[in-house]
Amino acid sequence: MKTKEALLKEAGYRYNFDRLAYVNRLEKKVFAEESVDDNTEEWLAEKIAEPNTTGDWKFYDEPAIAVRRAFVAELENGRAAHR
């Protein structure tokens, strides 16, 4: 099994150190650093492979409404994933 680092990198995720999260703008998916730390490589690979068909940002794990709103605003402004 590949390392978590390799899985995220190969799938196009970039680490955002302001938000302590791995972000993929094309897939519109976000993994909290804590979720990556707390789960296995198998879990991570499975979630990376999971398609996001919502059209909206998908978070692992889903944050509080105000937190999601603020983070999505940053992502939509194109700041977060390009740090």
Binding site for other proteins (CB under 8 A): 3-5, 8, 15-21, 32-34, 36, 61, 63-67, 70-71
Rounded least distance, CB 55 to other proteins, Å: 21
**Cβ atoms < 10 Å from Cβ of 29:** 21
**Cβ atoms < 10 Å from Cβ of 38:** 10
Q: CA 24 to CA 30: how far, in whole Å?
A: 6
**Cβ atoms < 10 Å from Cβ of 70:** 13
Nearer to other proteins, 46 or 70 (CB): 70
Rounded least distance, CB 61 to other proteins, Å: 8
Nearer to other proteins, 4 or 29 (CB): 4
